[in-house]
C-alpha cells in the first residue's frame, strides 16, 4: 500500500482542494504542501531499499481475466523521477501561494495541480504499459486544464486546445505502440517487456512499435516537428509553466524513452528516429529562443532545445550518453524551474514580460537578479554550475558518435552551445542597463517565501556544479544502474578532466555565444526584430491551425455530402441494410435437419389470419383513420398475447395483455394533440410518378423484410435447439430460487441484476416523459376544447368530467367502477403473491394495479380521482427503486454478493408454512416501480387535457382585458 | 404451427416496415408497435414452440426436456415492458414535436419540392 498511497494521496488532495472555498489561498497551499511532503517522506523511506538495487512492486488485480494488473514498480529511475516530481512540486506550490492573485479561483488551481502530481507519479511508477498510457493521458488532460486555467483569455484557450490535441494524439499513438509491444512480448508488464529486448528488436513489427512509441514521446516532450505547442502553453500561470512545462510533464517523453531504452534501443532505426528528432529540435529551439521578446517564450524555446539535447543523447544510445541524458534531465529541471519562477517574479512585480521593455532590474530586484543570472549561467553551461557538467558530457558523446571523420554532430553541438549562450545573455540583459521608467508597475523584491524556492534551486545548481561527486553522483548512480543494469559504465563526474576536446568545445561555445550575441545586438537589431530570421516561414502553430480548419471543413463537407437530417431516407437505408447485411455476414446455412413439428391447428391459423389481417389493415388505415388503425393494431396485439398463451408462455400472455391495455390508453390520450389529416399535402407539387415510385420502393422493402424474417423464423423453428442454459434454470428454479414459476424466478433471482437495470430504465423514461410534458406546448389549433366536447345540443358537454361521473350520464358506470377498484386491487395482489410459483409477478401485478387506477381516471375524470386518492407516482418510483436496491444490498450484510436471494421458511398460525424468499421483496420493488412508471406517464399526459379546458378561459379573459384597455384609451 | 407463426411474424414485420417508412409521426408509432410484436415473437420463437408445457416446475428434479425454454420468455417479458416505456417516450416526443413545429411530419416540416 505504501506505493499506492504515493499516487493516491495527491488525488485525494486534489478532491479535497476542489471542495474548499474560493478565497482559501492559505489553506489550499498548506494542503498541497502537506501532500508533497507526505509523498517526499514516503519516497525517502523507500531510499534504503532502492539504493541497494531492489525493485519494489505492488500489484492489484485490474482485469485479471485479460492478464492485466495494476502494477506499481519502483526502481532507481522511477524513484529519482518521483522525487523530482515531488520536490519541484513542493517548491512550486509554495511559490504559487504568492504568485496567484486573491481574485483567482484557487481551489481549481490547486486541485488540478495536485491531480497532475498524482498523474505524473502514476506515469513514473507504472509497472504496466497500458496503465502507464492511462496516466500519460491524465497528465495531458490536467495540463490542458491548467493551461486553460484563465479560461477567459483567448490565448489560454487556444494554447490549451493545441497542447491537448498534440499531446493526446501522441498519447493515442503511444497506446497503439504499447499494444504492438504487448503483442510482440505477450505481456504488458514492464519487467517482461524490458527483459525481451532482443525479441522485440528482431520482430517484424519492431519498426511500427518504435514509430508509434516515438510519436507519443516526441509529442509529449515537444520535439520537432511537434514542438510548437509548448510556447503556446506559456499562457498558463507561471507556476504551471515551471512545473509542467519545464521540469516534469515535458520530461515524461524522454522518461519513457529512457525507460524503454533496454527494450527498443540499439538499432540504426532508433538512432535515426530519436536522434534525428533530437538534433533538429536542439538547433531549432536554441536558434528561435534568441529572437523571442517574451520572457517565458524565450524560456519555452530554450526548454525545447534542452529537451532536444536529451533526446539526442538518448538517440545516441551509448551507456555514457544515457548517463548524460539522465543527468541533464535533473540539471535542466533545477535551473529551468528556477528561471521560470524568476520570470514569474519579474512578471508579477513589474507587470510585463516583454524583453523590449525590461531594463536595469538589478537595481530594484538585486537578489532575484543574482539568482536569475546564476541560473542562466547554468543554462548556458558556464563552469562550476551543473549545466556545464552535463553539457560537457554531451560534447564528449557527440565526438564519440562521429569518430575521427564525421564531425557534423560536434558542429551542431557547438552551434547549439553558442545559441544557448546567446539567449542566456539575452535573458540576463534585462537586469543591466539604465532602469526602465515605463513599466506598468514599479518593481520591488517579492515576499521572502516566494523567492525561497528559487534560492533553493539555484543553490542546488551551485552545489551540483561545484561538488558533483558527493552531491548528485550517488543518486545518479541509482537511476543509471536501474536502466543500464550490467552495461552501466564507469564515469567520473568531475569539474576538471584536464585539457581535452570537450573542454575546448565548451570554451568555443561560450566565446562564440558572447560574440554572436554582441553581433546580433549591434548589427541585426535583435531587440526590435519581429520575425525569426531564415526560418520564420516554418510555423508549426500555423500548420496546426490550418490542419484543424481543414479537418473541420472537410468534416462539414462530408456531412453535407453523405448525411441527411431527413428521417425517412435514414430509415430506408437502415431497412435496406437490415435486408442486405445479415446474408453477407452469415456463413453457409446449417444442414437442413428437421425436428418433429407441432401439429397444425386450424384455430391457431385462424387467429393469425385475423391478426395478420389486422396488421395489414392497420398499416393501411394509419393514414386515414387513426382510431381505427389503433384498434386494428390492438387486435394484432391481442392475437400476439393469445399466441403466447397457446405456446406455453402464460406470463408473457398476461404481460402482453396488460401492456396492450395501457398502450392503447396512452396513445388515445396522445391522439388528441395530433392535427387532422391534411388532404392537400397528399397532392402537392410532387409528381404522381414519383409518389408511385416511392411507395413501390417502400412496399418492396416491406415485403422483402417480412419475407426474410418469416424465412428466418421458419428456418430456426425446424432446426433442433442447441444446448442453452435453459436446463440449468429449469432444474434450479425450485431448489435454488424457491419458486416453481421459472420465468419469474429468472426475472427476480437468476437475472435480477438485469431486472434492476430494467426498472431503472423504466423510472428514467417515466421521469423523462414527465419532464418533457411539463414543457409541452400544444399546437394552437389543438389547444382548445375539441369540437366533440363543444356540441351544445348534448347536455353532457356543459358538465365537467367530475359532474358527469357524479350525477351525469357516467353515473352508473362510474359507481360500478368505484366498486370494482377494490376487486381489481385484490386481483393485483393475487397475481403478485402467486407470481413466484404460478404465472404472475411484479410486472403483471403492477400493470393490473395501474389499470385499476386508470379506469377510475377514465370514467370519473382527473379532478375527481385526484381529489379522492392522493397518488404520488414519483414516490412510488423512488420507493420501488430503493426497495429493490436495498434487497440487493441486504445480501452484503450476510457476506454474499449483491442480490443474492435467501428464502426464509416461516410458520404462520392459521396460514401454515410460508416460503418467503428475499426475491419477493425485490419483486415488490419491481411492482412499485411499474405502478409508478405507468401512473406517472399516463397521468402526466392526461393532465394536458385539463390545461386545454383552462386555456380558452384565460385567453378569453386576456382578449376581454385587451378590449377594455382599448376602450379606455 | 411453425409455418403459421413464421408467416405471421413476416406479415406483422412487413406491415411495420411499411409504416415506419411513412411520413407521419402517427404512422411511425404504429409501425414501431407492429415491429415490436414481430420481434418479440421472433425472439420468443428462438426457444422453439411448445404446446401445453409452460416452464412451471411443480417438483424438484424434473426432466428439463419436458418444459418450454424459460430464457426467451424472460427476455421477451422485459422487452414488452421496456417497449411500453419507449412507446410512451416516443408518443410524448411526437406530440411535443407537433406542438413545436406545427406539423406531424417526421421531419418537423412538410416536404418542399
Contact B22, B28 (CB under 8 A): yes
pLDDT of residue A969: 45
Cβ–Cβ below 8 Å for B34 and A567: no
CB contacts of B8 in chain A (<8 Å) are 608, 611-612, 643
A427 Cβ contact list (under 8 Å, min separation 6): A295, A298, A299, A339, A355, A372, A376, A379
Q: What is the DSSP letter of A741?
A: B
Return the CA Rg of chain A. Answer: 39
- Average pLDDT of chain B? 90
Answer whether B36 touches A (CB < 8 Å): no
pLDDT of residue A403: 67
Q: How far is A889 from chain B (nearest CA, A)?
A: 23
Give the model confidence (pLDDT) of A632-691 as tens digits: 999 999 999 999 999 999 999 999 999 999 999 999 988 888 888 766 555 556 678 888
Cβ–Cβ below 8 Å for A702 and B60: no
Chain B residue with minimum CA distance to A662: B84
Q: Where residue B35 sits, what CATH number does that domain have? A: 1.10.287
DSSP string for residues in A622-682: TTT-HHHHHHHHHHHHHHHHHHHHHTT-HHHHHHHHHHHHHHHHHHHHHHTTSPPP-TGGG
Cβ–Cβ below 8 Å for B80 and A652: yes
The answer to the question of residue B13 being in a domain is yes
ipTM: 0.96
Query: How many residue pairs from chains A and B have C-beta atoms closer than 8 A?
Result: 323
pLDDT of residue A684: 56
The answer to the question of residue B29 being in a domain is yes
Cβ–Cβ below 8 Å for B82 and A598: no
Cβ–Cβ below 8 Å for A673 and B33: no
Instruction: Give residues 130 to 149 of A whose Cβ lies within 8 Å of B.
Output: none
Cβ–Cβ below 8 Å for B17 and A575: yes
Chain B residue with minimum CA distance to A702: B14
Q: How far is CA A453 from the centre of its chain?
A: 35
Answer whether B96 touches A (CB < 8 Å): yes
Q: Which of A597, A652, A733 sits opposite B1 (nearest CB)?
A: A597
pLDDT of residue A681: 52
CB contacts of B34 in chain A (<8 Å) are 615, 618-619, 633, 636
Report the alpha-carbon distance of residue A328 to residue A393 in Å, rounded.
9
Chain A residue with minimum CA distance to B7: A710
Chain B residue with minimum CA distance to A622: B27
The answer to the question of residue B72 being in a domain is yes
The answer to the question of residue B113 being in a domain is no
Contact A361, A439 (CB under 8 A): no
Look at chain B and report how many structural domains it folds into.
Answer: 1
Q: Which of A604, A698, A933 sits opposite B1 (nearest CB)?
A: A604
∠ CA(A111), CA(A117), CA(A121), 5° rounding?
Answer: 150
Beta A56-63 vs A68-74: how paired, if at all?
antiparallel
Any idea of the CA torsion for B37, B43, B48, B51, to the nearest 10 degrees?
-40
Q: Output the nine-digit C-alpha cell for A161.
A: 486546445
Cβ–Cβ below 8 Å for B113 and A705: no
Cβ–Cβ below 8 Å for B55 and A699: no
pLDDT of residue A8: 94
Instruction: Give residues 474 to 493 of A whose Cβ lies within 8 Å of B.
Output: none
Low-confidence ranges of chain A (pLDDT < 70): 402-404, 537, 678-686, 911-914, 947-969
The answer to the question of residue B20 being in a domain is yes
Q: Which of B7, B15, B113 sits opposite A619 (nearest CB)?
A: B15
Which residue has 504551471 as its cell numbers?
Answer: A240
Give me the long-range contacts of A372-375 (CB less than 8 A, separation at least 24).
Answer: A372/A338, A372/A339, A372/A342, A372/A343, A372/A346, A372/A427, A372/A428, A372/A431, A372/A454, A373/A428, A373/A431, A374/A458, A374/A461, A374/A462, A375/A335, A375/A338, A375/A339, A375/A342, A375/A454, A375/A457, A375/A458, A375/A461
Report the alpha-carbon distance of residue A968 to residue B16 in Å, rounded.
60
The answer to the question of residue B37 being in a domain is yes
Answer with the residue of higher pLDDT: A902 or B11: B11
Instruction: Give residues 387 to 426 of A whose Cβ lies within 8 Å of B.
Output: none
Q: Which of B14, B85, B95 sits opposite A933 (nearest CB)?
A: B85
Cβ–Cβ below 8 Å for A673 and B84: no
Residue B11 sits in which domain range?
Answer: 2-49+68-101
Q: Output the nine-digit C-alpha cell for A582.
A: 445479415
Chain B residue with minimum CA distance to A748: B74
Answer whether A760 touches B (CB < 8 Å): no
Q: Which of A709, A747, A768 sits opposite B13 (nearest CB)?
A: A709
Chain A residue with minimum CA distance to B109: A566
Convert A837-854 into a string of H (helix), E (strand) and C (coil).
CCCCCHHHHHHHHHHHHH
Cβ–Cβ below 8 Å for A779 and B89: no
Answer whether A843 touches B (CB < 8 Å): yes
Mean pLDDT of B17-32: 93
What is the CB neighbour count within 10 angstroms for residue A360?
17
pLDDT of residue B112: 66
Q: Output the nine-digit C-alpha cell for B56.
A: 412451471
Amino acid at each position: 500500500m505504501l506505493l499506492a498511497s504515493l499516487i493516491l494521496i495527491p488525488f485525494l488532495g486534489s478532491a479535497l482542494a476542489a471542495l474548499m472555498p474560493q478565497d482559501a489561498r492559505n489553506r489550499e497551499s498548506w494542503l498541497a504542501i502537506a501532500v508533497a511532503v507526505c509523498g517526499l517522506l514516503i519516497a525517502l523511506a523507500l531510499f534504503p531499499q532502492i539504493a541497494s538495487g531492489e525493485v519494489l512492486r505492488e500489484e492489484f488485480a485490474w482485469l485479471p481475466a485479460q492478464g492485466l494488473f495494476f502494477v506499481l514498480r519502483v526502481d532507481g529511475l522511477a524513484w529519482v523521477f518521483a522525487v523530482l516530481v515531488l520536490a519541484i512540486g513542493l517548491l512550486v506550490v509554495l511559490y504559487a501561494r504568492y504568485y496567484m492573485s486573491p481574485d483567482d479561483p484557487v481551489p481549481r488551481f490547486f486541485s488540478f495541480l495536485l491531480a497532475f502530481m498524482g498523474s505524473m507519479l502514476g506515469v513514473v511508477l507504472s509497472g504496466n504499459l497500458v496503465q502507464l498510457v492511462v496516466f500519460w493521458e491524465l497528465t495531458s488532460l490536467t495540463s490542458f486544464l491548467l493551461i486553460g486555467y484563465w479560461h477567459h483569455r483567448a490565448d489560454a484557450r487556444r494554447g490549451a486546445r493545441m497542447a491537448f490535441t498534440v499531446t493526446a494524439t501522441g498519447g493515442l499513438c503511444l497506446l497503439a505502440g504499447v499494444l504492438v509491444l504487448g503483442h510482440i512480448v505477450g505481456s504488458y508488464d514492464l519487467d517482461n517487456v524490458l527483459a525481451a529486448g532482443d525479441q522485440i528488436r528482431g520482430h517484424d513489427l519492431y519498426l511500427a512499435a518504435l514509430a508509434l512509441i516515438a510519436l507519443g514521446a516526441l509529442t509529449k516532450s515537444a520535439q520537432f516537428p511537434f514542438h510548437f505547442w509548448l510556447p503556446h502553453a506559456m499562457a498558463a500561470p507561471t507556476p504551471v509553466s515551471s512545473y509542467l512545462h519545464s521540469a516534469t510533464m515535458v520530461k515524461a517523453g524522454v522518461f519513457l524513452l529512457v525507460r524503454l531504452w533496454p527494450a527498443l534501443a540499439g538499432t540504426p532505426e532508433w538512432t535515426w528516429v530519436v536522434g534525428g528528432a533530437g538534433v533538429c529540435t536542439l538547433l531549432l529551439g536554441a536558434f528561435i529562443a534568441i529572437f523571442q521578446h517574451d520572457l517565458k517564450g524565450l524560456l519555452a524555446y530554450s526548454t525545447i532545445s534542452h529537451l532536444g539535447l536529451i533526446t539526442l543523447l538518448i538517440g545516441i544510445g551509448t551507456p555514457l550518453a544515457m548517463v548524460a541524458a539522465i543527468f541533464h534531465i535533473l540539471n535542466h529541471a533545477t535551473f529551468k524551474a528556477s528561471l521560470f519562477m524568476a520570470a514569474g517574479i519579474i512578471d508579477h512585480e513589474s507587470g510585463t514580460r516583454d524583453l523590449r521593455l525590461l531594463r536595469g532590474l538589478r537595481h530594484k530586484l538585486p537578489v532575484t537578479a543574482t539568482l536569475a543570472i546564476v541560473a542562466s549561467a547554468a543554462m548556458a553551461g558556464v563552469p562550476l554550475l551543473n549545466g556545464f557538467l552535463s553539457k560537457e558530457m554531451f560534447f564528449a558523446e557527440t565526438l564519440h558518435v562521429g569518430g575521427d571523420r564525421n564531425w557534423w554532430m560536434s558542429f551542431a553541438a557547438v552551434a547549439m552551445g553558442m545559441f544557448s549562450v546567446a539567449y542566456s545573455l539575452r535573458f540576463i540583459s534585462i537586469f543591466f542597463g539604465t532602469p526602465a521608467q515605463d513599466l506598468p508597475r514599479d518593481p520591488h523584491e517579492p515576499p521572502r517565501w516566494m523567492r525561497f524556492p528559487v534560492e533553493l534551486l539555484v543553490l542546488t545548481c551551485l552545489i551540483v556544479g561545484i561538488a558533483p561527486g558527493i552531491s548528485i553522483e550517488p543518486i545518479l548512480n541509482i537511476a543509471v544502474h536501474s536502466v543500464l543494469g550490467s552495461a552501466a559504465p564507469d564515469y567520473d563526474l568531475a569539474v576538471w578532466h584536464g585539457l581535452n576536446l570537450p573542454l575546448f568545445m565548451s570554451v568555443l561555445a561560450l566565446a562564440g555565444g558572447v560574440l554572436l550575441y554582441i553581433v546580433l545586438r549591434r548589427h541585426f537589431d535583435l531587440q526590435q526584430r519581429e520575425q525569426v530570421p531564415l526560418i520564420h516561414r516554418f510555423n508549426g502553430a500555423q500548420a496546426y491551425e490550418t490542419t484543424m480548419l481543414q479537418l473541420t471543413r472537410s468534416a462539414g463537407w462530408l456531412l453535407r455530402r453523405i448525411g441527411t437530417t431527413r428521417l425517412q431516407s435514414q430509415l430506408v437505408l437502415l431497412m435496406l441494410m437490415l435486408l442486405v447485411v445479415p446474408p453477407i455476414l452469415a456463413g453457409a446455412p446449417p444442414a437442413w435437419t428437421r425436428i418433429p413439428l407441432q401439429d397444425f391447428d386450424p384455430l391457431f391459423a385462424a387467429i393469425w389470419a385475423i391478426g395478420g389481417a389486422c396488421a395489414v389493415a392497420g398499416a393501411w388505415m394509419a393514414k386515414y383513420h387513426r382510431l381505427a388503425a389503433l384498434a386494428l393494431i390492438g387486435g394484432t396485439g391481442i392475437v400476439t398475447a393469445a399466441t403466447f398463451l397457446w405456446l406455453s408462455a402464460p406470463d408473457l400472455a398476461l404481460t402482453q395483455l396488460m401492456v396492450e391495455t395501457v398502450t392503447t390508453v396512452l396513445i388515445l390520450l396522445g391522439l388528441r394533440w395530433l392535427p387532422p389529416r391534411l388532404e392537400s399535402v397528399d397532392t402537392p407539387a410532387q409528381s404522381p410518378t414519383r409518389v408511385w415510385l416511392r411507395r413501390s420502393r417502400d412496399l418492396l422493402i416491406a415485403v422483402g423484410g417480412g419475407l426474410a424474417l418469416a424465412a428466418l423464423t421458419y428456418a430456426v423453428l425446424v432446426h433442433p435447439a442447441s444446448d442453452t442454459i435453459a436446463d440449468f434454470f429449469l432444474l434450479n428454479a425450485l431448489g435454488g430460487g424457491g419458486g416453481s414459476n421459472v420465468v419469474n424466478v429468472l426475472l427476480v433471482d437468476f437475472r435480477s441484476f438485469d431486472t434492476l437495470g430494467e426498472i431503472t430504465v423504466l423510472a428514467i423514461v417515466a421521469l423523462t416523459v414527465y419532464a418533457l410534458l411539463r414543457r409541452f406546448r400544444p399546437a394552437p389549433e389543438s389547444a382548445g376544447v375539441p369540437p366533440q366536447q363543444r356540441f351544445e345540443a348534448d347536455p353532457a358537454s356543459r358538465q365537467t368530467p367530475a359532474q358527469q361521473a357524479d350525477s351525469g350520464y357516467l353515473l352508473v358506470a362510474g359507481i360500478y367502477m368505484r366498486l370494482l377498484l377494490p376487486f381489481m386491487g385484490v386481483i393485483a395482489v393475487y397475481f403478485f403473491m402467486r407470481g413466484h410459483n404460478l404465472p404472475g409477478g411484479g410486472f403483471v401485478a403492477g400493470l393490473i394495479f395501474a389499470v385499476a387506477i386508470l379506469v377510475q381516471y377514465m370514467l370519473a375524470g382527473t379532478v375527481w380521482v385526484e381529489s379522492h386518492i392522493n397518488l404520488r407516482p414519483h414516490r412510488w418510483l423512488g420507493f420501488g427503486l430503493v426497495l429493490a436496491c436495498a434487497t440487493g444490498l441486504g445480501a452484503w450484510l450476510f457476506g454474499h454478493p449483491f442480490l443474492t436471494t435467501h428464502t426464509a421458511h416461516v410458520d404462520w398460525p392459521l396460514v401454515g408454512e410460508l416460503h418467503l424468499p428475499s426475491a419477493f421483496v425485490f419483486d415488490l420493488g419491481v411492482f412499485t416501480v411499474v405502478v409508478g412508471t405507468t401512473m406517472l406517464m399516463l397521468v402526466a399526459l392526461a393532465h394536458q387535457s385539463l390545461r386545454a379546458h383552462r386555456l380558452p378561459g384565460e385567453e378569453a379573459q386576456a382578449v376581454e382585458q385587451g378590449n377594455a384597455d382599448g376602450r379606455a384609451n | 404451427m411453425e409455418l403459421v407463426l413464421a408467416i405471421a411474424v413476416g406479415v406483422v414485420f412487413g406491415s411495420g416496415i411499411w409504416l415506419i417508412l411513412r411520413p407521419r409521426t402517427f404512422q411511425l408509432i404504429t409501425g414501431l408497435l407492429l415491429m415490436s410484436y414481430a420481434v418479440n415473437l421472433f425472439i420468443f420463437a428462438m426457444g422453439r414452440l411448445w404446446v401445453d408445457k409452460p416452464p412451471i416446475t411443480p417438483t424438484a428434479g424434473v426432466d428439463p426436456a419436458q418444459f418450454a425454454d424459460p430464457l426467451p420468455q424472460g427476455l421477451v417479458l422485459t422487452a414488452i415492458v421496456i417497449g411500453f416505456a419507449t412507446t410512451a417516450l416516443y408518443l410524448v416526443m411526437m406530440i411535443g414535436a407537433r406542438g413545436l413545429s406545427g406539423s406531424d411530419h417526421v421531419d418537423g416540416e412538410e416536404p418542399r419540392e
